[in-house]
Structure 1
Amino acid sequence: MATVLLIEDEPALGMIVKDSLAFRGFEVLYASNGVEGLDQFRRHQPDIVVADIMMPDMDGFTMAEHIRRDDPHIPIMFLTARSQTTDVVRGFELGGNDYLKKPFSLDELVVRINALLRTGATRAQATAILKIGRYQFDPAKQKLALEDEEITLSHRESELLRRLFQQRNQVLGRSEVLTELWGDDSFFNGRSLDVFITKLRRHLREDPKIQIINIRGRGYKLVL
């Protein structure tokens, strides 16, 4: 069950949205202003923040700035009657992920919350430190470390290693990788992929238990 932190200074609207989200299976934390919302965020660590912009004590934009310093990845959605382009742009610049204008449909709100939660989960996975045998791999920073030694991978090396790890002990399709990382599965791009596989084998050679196996005609398999 996902936890939604709802910050809305209109009590009637706040209760309607809170009850509707709870009815749809969410756990809902409610705050009526930005100061209270920031406190709730820090005490309960919700999965997503849904916040009005115009609020007493601390507005939604200021609150979002504080939240982003604590957590760069949590999804933030703004609810507001303001729809000027400058407000929308500022919301996204401060780390907002979505923007819903009042009055809004509760069904649309739920759809957007679920979409942001899926995106947040994917982002969290992408930024997690991965343990590959004796190595520590940070996909976000493109760093591969073994004890005190660390190397910086290229973007394609990092993305290729991340995909291999996600499908470890299974075949990672050659055509799929070429299309996603090189744009097409032409012969010349295929030769380039082979070069990158060789580079990754070299980077991981200090742990003999790690193997990247060529599955002829299909792709590659990372075996741990």
Structure 2
Amino acid sequence: MARILVLEDELMLNEMICDYLVSNNYECVGVKSYDEALDLAYDQNFDLWVFDVKIIGGNGFELLDSLRAASKLTPCIFTTSLNSINDLNKGFLSGCDDYLKKPFELKELLLRVQNLIKREFSHKNEKVENLDNNYTYDIATKTLKKNDKQVKLSKKESDLLALFLKNKNRLITREEIYAQIWDIGEVPSELSLRVYIRNLRIHLGERIISKPKLGYIYVV
């Protein structure tokens, strides 16, 4: 049974969400504050987080940003009454996987939950074999190995490789890479990106193709 952490400071809505998810065969833990959610997300394993943005003791964007910085990769859905494009962008830059505007139907939330958990369970078993010269890459743990020995990559190099492998043979623009790889508040650097690409090519050869002024393609 998949476990879901729900952060919602409106008690009635919190209980409605949890009761509905439980009735659909999920285990659900509901909390109301930033600190409660932070402690549980660090200490316990969940398959999905559902975070409100305006919460007691902080906000959901900052919470998820802190968890992502600590390499907590559990998928997350934001629920919020904020509806500007800047808020949407901030949510995705902090590392969320989906964004649901209030008010919403519980059925819609359930559909999004089902989609993300299905994807997460699939990724947990997904391994890319034989990238080149006996290399393997585990997307779930973001670990590159050669002959079963781990290859040292920086966090951004590992995140970038995961992004390429999930988007094989598709052009990924620099803007998309910046949004996915750089943390909120960080200033993206084209020079740094080139260094990460060069380091990955040491292991993967010329599979990563540069498209001037556009972006990069991982070719298989």
CA gap of 1:181–1:66, structure 2 versus 1, over 3 A, is closer
Whole-Å separation in 2 of the counterparts to 1:137 and 1:86: 38
Quote the residue 1:219 is aligned against.
none
Q: Spell out the pairing of 1:80-95 with structure 2 (5 A cutoff).
A: 80-95=80-95
Quote the residue 1:58 is aligned against.
58
Q: Spell out the pairing of 1:47-196 with structure 2 (5 A cutoff).
A: 47-126=47-126, 137-138=136-137, 140=139, 143-146=144-147
Quote the residue 2:41 is aligned against.
41
Quote the residue 2:9 is aligned against.
9
Paired letter, 1:41: A
CA gap of 1:82–1:146, structure 2 versus 1, over 3 A, is same
CA gap of 1:129–1:89, structure 2 versus 1, over 3 A, is same
**Cα root mean square deviation, aligned:** 3.5
Whole-Å separation in 2 of the counterparts to 1:59 and 1:20: 24
Quote the residue 1:175 is aligned against.
none
Secondary structure in 2 matching 1:12: helix
Whole-Å separation in 2 of the counterparts to 1:148 and 1:77: 35
CA gap of 1:12–1:143, structure 2 versus 1, over 3 A, is closer
CA contact under 8 A between 1:51 and 1:78: conserved in structure 2? Answer: yes
CA contact under 8 A between 1:50 and 1:77: conserved in structure 2? Answer: yes
Which deviates more, 88-97 or 117-126?
Answer: 117-126
Secondary structure in 2 matching 1:86: helix
Whole-Å separation in 1 of the counterparts to 2:169 and 2:51: 40
TM-score using structure 2 length: 0.61
Secondary structure in 1 matching 2:136: strand
Q: Please list the CA deviations of residues 69-125 of structure 1 after superposition, one character each: whole Å capped at 9, or x if unmatched.
A: 234531100011111110011000110111111111111100100101122233333
Shift of 1:181: 6.5
Paired letter, 2:146: A
CA contact under 8 A between 1:29 and 1:40: conserved in structure 2? Answer: no
Please, which runs of 5 or more residues in structure 2 have no aligned partner? 152-160, 171-220
Whole-Å separation in 2 of the counterparts to 1:61 and 1:182: 32
Whole-Å separation in 1 of the counterparts to 2:150 and 2:17: 51
Q: Please list the CA deviations of residues 27-63 of structure 1 after superposition, one character each: whole Å capped at 9, or x if unmatched.
A: 0011101111011111221100001000121210111
Shift of 1:26: 0.6
Q: Percent of aligned positions with the same letter in both sequences?
A: 26
Whole-Å separation in 2 of the counterparts to 1:84 and 1:75: 22
Shift of 1:16: 0.9
Shift >4 Å, 4+ stretches: 128-131, 139-144, 147-150, 180-183
Quote the residue 1:173 is aligned against.
none
Q: Please list the CA deviations of residues 169-202 of structure 1 after superposition, one character each: whole Å capped at 9, or x if unmatched.
A: xxxxxxxxxxx9679xxxxxxxxxxxxxxxxxxx
Whole-Å separation in 2 of the counterparts to 1:88 and 1:37: 21
CA contact under 8 A between 1:22 and 1:28: conserved in structure 2? Answer: yes
Shift of 1:67: 1.7
TM-score using structure 1 length: 0.60
CA contact under 8 A between 2:128 and 2:136: conserved in structure 1? Answer: yes
CA contact under 8 A between 2:2 and 2:26: conserved in structure 1? Answer: yes
CA contact under 8 A between 2:143 and 2:150: conserved in structure 1? Answer: no
